[in-house]
Amino acid sequence: MESLDKKRVVIGMSGGVDSSVAAYLLKKQGYDVIGIMMNVWPEKGEDFQEKEGGCCGLSAVDDARRVANKLDIPFYVVNFKEAFEKKVIDYFVDEYMNGRTPNPCIACNKYLKFEELLKKAHQLGAYYVATGHYAKIQYDETIDKSIIRKSNSIKKDQTYALYNLTQNQVRHILMPLGEFSSKEEVRKIAMDLGLDTAAKPDSQEICFVEDDNYGRFIEEERGEEIKKGKFVDIDGNILGEHKGIVHYTIGQRKGLGIALGKPTYVVRIDPIKNEVVLGDNKDVFNMGLIAENVNFIHLGKFVDGLEVECQIRYNSKPSKAKLYHYSNGLIKVLFEEGQRAITPGQAVVFYDGDLLLGGGTITKAI
């Protein structure tokens, strides 16, 4: 690590406005900036062009390269296909097949942007890796650790997707957009610089599923048709046939393909029985959850009853809760008020005000 240059930074460029402006700001701050675009497109998808605003498609390379040329920084496209396939796509497919709803962006952050890209940065002699995330990374002298705080723009804050970073990763990360109060401020900088990405829309949905048809994508990845199964009520009575558990998520009402004469919601998914349990809206609310793979960014051991604010999905409003140790490294979260659609596979993230404490993966609602 002694050979790494603390003034050199590798920035992950997606071809979007956020990473473009982040690269500009870092250069303005005096860093030796190197732009890298991660080539993650599977061989079978070489002809894939991403949806407008996407960050995974081939055409985004041209946008990123033009920005790098404009900023006069080196730009490289690096092959991360194998890691992306294994750590993001395989995980995505496996989770859906197990009746869970994954968050591939969180996996991409952990394993690609802040693991594989950080390795590449170190190979290039750079101490830091940077992204266009809306979050603030600070050093806290009182505990001698790096911490993550929410962005000044609460609307754009992306700390929810950063909960599983390690202390070693965080101290090598720069996120210059965390100080901005709005996306409009960032777009204005891009416009003033004459960057082509200034008006580019935000990316939406899952970048590698180009038509948002998860079921079709999963069938193609597995090379087999998804098995149909039964809709049942909370007492186990058969209500009808579903088209495969990968097509459903907890709390879903639309697109069920079944009419029961009243609003009906997905309450639970049972991959063992291949059943989708339906119920009323009240059946979708729970007072707690169990979380696995829990990571605390700077916190050591905690005492049962620790009061935190929790988010159970991206952009959801934080809710007051208490944390308790459970068995085998799991953690139990009990909320003050019932939470709607606690979804296995999604992240539960813990905060103390604007300070990101950590989080885990939801295994079940309780």
Owning domain of residue 275: 227-279
Q: Both 273 and 164 in a single domain?
A: no
Q: Both 169 and 299 in a single domain?
A: no
Q: Is residue 207 part of a domain?
A: no
Question: Given 150, 171, 193, which residue is the final one in a domain?
Answer: 193
Residue 114 near residue 105 (C-beta atoms within 8 A): no
Q: Is residue 200 part of a domain?
A: no
- Say how far apart CA 102 and CA 345 lie, in whole Å: 5
Question: Given 142, 170, 193, which residue is the final one in a domain?
Answer: 193
* Closest by Cα among 140, 144, 117, 136 to 128: 117
12 is in an annotated binding site: yes
Digit-coded pLDDT (tens) for 5-63: 999 999 999 899 999 999 999 999 999 999 999 988 765 544 444 444 455 556 788 89
Q: Is residue 323 part of a domain?
A: yes
Count of structural domains within the chain: 3
- Say how far apart CA 65 and CA 229 lie, in whole Å: 48
Average pLDDT across the chain, whole number: 92
Q: Is residue 222 part of a domain?
A: no
14 is in an annotated binding site: yes
CATH number of the domain to which 269 belongs = 2.30.30.280
Q: Both 18 and 78 in a single domain?
A: yes
17 is in an annotated binding site: yes
287 is in an annotated binding site: no
Q: Both 125 and 76 in a single domain?
A: yes
Tell me which residues are annotated as active site: 108, 207
Q: Is residue 210 part of a domain?
A: no
Q: Both 322 and 173 in a single domain?
A: no
End-to-end Cα, the chain, rounded Å: 45
Q: Is residue 45 part of a domain?
A: yes
Q: Both 54 and 105 in a single domain?
A: yes
Q: CA–CA distance from 261 to each of 229, 258, 264, 268 (Å)?
A: 21, 9, 9, 20
Residues of the chain with pLDDT under 50: 45-53
* Burial of residue 300 (number of CB atoms within 10 Å: 0-12, 13-18, 19+): exposed
pLDDT at 330: 96
59 is in an annotated binding site: no
Residue 333 near residue 323 (C-beta atoms within 8 A): yes
Give the tokens for residue 136.
Answer: 């603030």
Q: How many CA atoms lie within 13 A of 241 on its CB side?
A: 3
Q: Both 303 and 270 in a single domain?
A: no
13 is in an annotated binding site: yes
Q: Is residue 130 part of a domain?
A: yes
pLDDT at 52: 44
Whole-structure pTM value: 0.92
132 is in an annotated binding site: yes
Q: Is residue 82 part of a domain?
A: yes
Residue 246 near residue 96 (C-beta atoms within 8 A): yes
